[in-house]
Amino acid sequence: MFSVLRWLTAFWAYQIVSAFTKFSDPVFDQISATTLADLRDDIVYDNFFVDSTTLRKLRLSGALDEYAGGTIMQTPFQYQRVNGGAIAPGSDITVMQKQILAATGFVPKEYIEQIPVNLWQVGVINSGPAAKVKIIDAYMTNAVQAANTDLGIDIFRHGQASSGSAITNNRVIFINGFSEAMNDGVNNSWDGNVFVNYGGQNRNGAIGNTLNSVPIWAGTQTGATGQATYKVLVEAYLNCVQEPDLGICNKALYAYLLERLEPKQRFAEEQDVNMGMVGIRIMNALIMVDKLCPSTKYGQLLPSGLSQTTAIKPTTFTSATLTATQNAISNLPSATTINPGEPFFWIRSKGWKVRPTNDPEYNFNFTPWIRSQTNADNVVGFFKVGINVYCVSPRDNEQIYGFGF
């Protein structure tokens, strides 16, 4: 609910007056000439943006960690143990020091929303007691919502450069989201990509599988979607080394899961007291709907243009060529056309980092107005964010895709 309504009202009033001037005389009838419109102050209904459940949960779970500067956001991790074990008493041993630590590194990503303003409109027309809704307030509020929406959509994707057939789309300017974190360098993620490294660290090399999370395919061996079942959800939940506390899916998959419940259980949703949202509990995690989660079925129901850079609807892809060993956990068929269906994500929210910079210029902040050099009435401001979102322990998270009804 914002001030754009006032500007729109004035604009359309002008259009109506212009039309009446052409086709009628007098321009106003008695009622319209003497009666004000019923317009509430500072109320504009938002029929465009939707909230991000995932980002909301991460903020409430302590994932917010301001970035104070540096070449990269570096996170050390253990990938090896020291030598030792049972020995025969009195035996000689060879003492050897070996490397047990490595690190991932991520860089901040910049998001900017544009706020163009016409000073004549907002200062002369949309002003004083007649300005029931301030258009400049509407633009600034819209910019904040746009930035949150961009982050809420991009968190399901990746932030790596394209790399041959493994990564087919270049998203190096975006945050490092779910599809690259929950990967094992072998199997495709829900977006069709295979991420052989994470945070600049190669998977499956010297560090072994310590940064791996094996994507799970829930469809058929011909690449079609499969039935949404609790069996797949529970097994994927138990694949996580530490228990996840949140399940994220779109509206379609949430509906499928509810419809699989016995009728007597359908109203047994539980509430997350911190978020005030309800969900289906499996073990120690609540499954909740994120309206920005990619959806094959409902991907076209969100307003067009909600994201100007990232597709919300999954598309088909050809899976990697896999061995029987690689296929054993993922269940992904080798070299097959895959319909991603409805994806699902198990999240351990405490293992994620939301890293906005603490620099005031880029910490969810508005810039001063910049005047146009060619138009005396136009100015532009920007809402700027320097941030990244990444996972410190991918093995505590899991993605599943290929769900249908």
The residue ranges of every structural domain in the chain are 177-203+212-354+389-404
* Per-residue pLDDT at 178: 96
| pLDDT above 50 (res 395) | yes
Q: State the virtual CA torsion across 365, 371, 372, 376 in degrees, nearest 10.
A: 140
* Per-residue pLDDT at 338: 97
Chain segment 195-212, per-residue pLDDT in tens: 999 999 999 999 999 999
Please state whether beta strands 352-356 and 378-391 pair in parallel, antiparallel, or not at all (unpaired): antiparallel
Strands (E), 87-209: 101-106, 109-118, 197-198, 201-202
CA angle at 68 for the pair 66 and 73, rounded to the nearest 5°: 80
For 304, the token pair is 């067009």
Q: 3-class DSSP state for residue 54? A: helix
pLDDT band at 252 (very low <50, low <70, confident <90, very high): very high
* Per-residue pLDDT at 120: 92
* Per-residue pLDDT at 230: 87
More confident residue, 13 or 119: 119
| pLDDT above 80 (res 30) | no
* Per-residue pLDDT at 4: 43
Measured in residues, the chain has a length of 405
- Mean pLDDT, residues 126-148 taken together: 86
4-13, 56-65, 201-210: segment of lowest average pLDDT: 4-13
- Mean pLDDT, residues 261-273 taken together: 59
pLDDT band at 28 (very low <50, low <70, confident <90, very high): low
Query: What is the C-alpha to C-alpha distance for residues 390 and 322, in angstroms, rounded to an integer?
Result: 27
Of residues 188, 230, 257, 222, the one with CA closest to residue 399? 188
* Per-residue pLDDT at 31: 57
The residue type of 290 is D
For residue 256, the Cα-to-chain-centroid distance in whole angstroms is 22
- Mean pLDDT, residues 139-158 taken together: 92
Q: With pLDDT > 90 as the criterion, what percentage of the chain qualifies?
A: 53
| pLDDT above 90 (res 106) | yes
- Mean pLDDT, residues 327-336 taken together: 93
For 316, the token pair is 């088909």
* Per-residue pLDDT at 376: 94
Chain segment 212-223, per-residue pLDDT in tens: 999 999 999 999
More confident residue, 240 or 263: 240
125-129, 149-153, 156-160, 250-254: segment of lowest average pLDDT: 125-129
Q: What is the pTM of this model?
A: 0.84
